Amino acid sequence: MATAVGAYFMFSLMVMFAKLLSATHSVIEIAFYRNLIGSLPFLFIAFAMGRRDILVMRTKPVWVGIRAVAGTVSLVVTFAAYSMLPLADTTALLFTASLFIPVLSVIILKETVGPWRWSAVVIGFVGVLIMTRPSGDVYVLGIVAALVAALMHAGLQIILRYLGRYEKPATISLYFFVIGAIVTALAMPFVAVTPTINEIPLLLGVGLSGAAAQWLLSVAYRNAPAAIVTVFNYTSIIWATFFGWMIWNDWPLPAVMTGAVIVIASNILIVWRESQARTQLVTDRNP
């Protein structure tokens, strides 16, 4: 649980650094530095510490590559959403990723989703409508970017569910960073801006906090049930609200907080029902 809290704090730090940089740098450039710097600790572990086993993709190299490319596009869209909206608003909208997962599970994995989880999905999207304030003054492009990013996060979770049966988490993370750096490097001649001395710590912060978040999250999933780890994702709204207030003097509107509470409650219901379903499955297999 401690590493789960640490992981989501690091993710919040990463997007805070990215938002600061987005004032003068392209989100593609920020994603490049995040992946390049984030890959260094994994490469150090592989070569300096002799852990070359994490370089080996066992049986699903194509899917590791697909996950890396899709994850890179998702990262760019996520950074774009944060650059256009306040931190807390974007974080709350990204919580909808958990609402898309049951839908994608039915479509892609052919899983069965019961009425409880469908009800939670519907309730969650009511929360989204409240947050987006369809009759109010909103930045539509930012909201669309955040929801597209959430949908992509959900798709990546489905891919990770599949890859987790075959590949090591460290291997998946390593190739995500390396391939992501290569993909975004293709655009660097067109978007790169020479960073100032004051921006170098921010670039290092984006990469190192992203790498730390990935490592802490893998430790969390190794030592606690996924249902418990997932719940700690909602601590992100605390960090996002704090950073938004301290740095940009942003404070979430009541509609955003109300919608966020509804989305979080629906997500917790989905997590609870999934954990109940897994418990029942184990009981049925081991009466």
For the segment 238-264, the average pLDDT, to the nearest whole number, is 90
Rg (the chain; Cα; Å)? 19
Instruction: Please give the DSSP secondary-structure letter assigned to residue 232.
Output: G
Tell me the residue range of the domain where 242 lies.
2-285
Counted residue by residue, the chain has a size of: 287
Encoding tokens for residue 228? 């418990």
Check residue 177 and give its pLDDT: 94
Look up tokens 């992509």; give the residue.
152
How many domains is the chain partitioned into structurally?
A: 1
Q: Rounded to whole angstroms, how far apart are CA atoms 72 and 87?
A: 20
Task: Name the residue with higher pLDDT: 149 or 229.
Answer: 149
Amino acid at 105: S
Check residue 283 and give its pLDDT: 56
The average confidence (pLDDT) of the chain is: 87
Q: What are phi and psi of 139, to 5 degrees?
A: -95, 95
Where does the pLDDT of residue 30 fall: very low under 50, low under 70, confident under 90, or very high at 90 and above?
A: very high
Per-residue model confidence as pLDDT tens digits over 190-238? 999 999 999 999 999 999 999 899 888 878 877 777 667 777 888 898 8
pTM of the model: 0.88
Angle, helix 140-163 to helix 61-84, in steps of 10 degrees: 160
Share of the chain above pLDDT 70, in %: 91
**Of 48-62, 90-104, 186-200, 272-286, the least confident:** 272-286
